[in-house]
Every structure is written in C-alpha cells, then in structure tokens.
Amino acid sequence: MLSAIRFFLKSILAIIILIVISVILFIFFLYFMLIYTLDGKVYKRSNVFDYYLLTPKLFRDAPDISKNILYYTRADDNYGFTQERVTWENVGDIMVAKKKVENFLSENGIKNGELNSMGETYSIVLDGDDITLVLITCTRYC
C-alpha cells in the first residue's frame, strides 16, 4: 500500500515537472519569436525554418506569379500592429499579376483593403515590376 502511494506521488510530481518545463519552453518560444522578428525579417522560400514558422498559410498558398519571391515579417510595432508581406519581383505583366492576386483573395473570402473580423487588413501594392501582398494585423485596440 505504501509503495502504491509513493508511486502515485512520484507520478504526480513527474507530471507537474513536465507541465512546468512545457510552460517555460512555450514562454521562451514566444519571447524568441518576438525578438527574432522585432525589427523585421526578410527571407525566401528556400529558408525552410523561417518559411514554415513565420509565413501565414494564406501566403504559402498564394499563386506563384514570379520565380523571385520575398517574404517579410515584423512583430508588434508598439502601436498594436504586426505586418507580413509577400513580394513577387520582376513580374512580367503587372496588371495580370494583380488580377491573379485579387482573384486569389476573393477565392479565400478576403476583400482588398477591408478590416476583417480577426483584425486583419490585406492590400496589394504595385511598385514597378514588383507586386506585394501586405497583411497588417491589429493586435490590440482594434
């Protein structure tokens, strides 16, 4: 009987230790991601770690308009906004590309330039031969 109680107490202690370690690791992960992206981070699809960890799923599913694609992410700017961007560089026909991006957003139920219920605003920016899809997320006071 006494050994069963000891086993039970050891099991409870092990579970508590695992929970505490998990919480500490989770807090460290959140802090690391904030510091890692605080000043902004530019990366390409070939950077597997950043691509799968930082890129919103919608951006990963976006159409391949050009071969040269840059991704950008920036943590909260102290005003309550985060920013993600995907930029297609050296696009052949910029207006056709813009239409593809607009159709992609429409297929996903997103309206260009409109704040959705999650505090997100998407916009399309044209700059010479480049087209950028910008996601700005309001994290507070929206």
What DSSP state is assigned to residue 78? S
Structural domain boundaries of the chain?
1-37, 39-138
Compute φ and ψ for 135, nearest 5 degrees: -120, 120
Q: What is the pLDDT of residues 10-59, one digit of tens each?
A: 889 999 999 999 999 988 877 776 666 667 889 899 988 888 888 888 89
* Mean confidence (pLDDT) of the chain: 85
Task: Look up the pTM and report it.
Answer: 0.70
Structure tokens at 29: 């992960």
Q: What backbone phi and psi angles, to 5 degrees, belong to 93?
A: -110, 100
* 35 to 50, 72, 75, 77, 84: CA distances (angstroms): 14, 15, 8, 12, 16
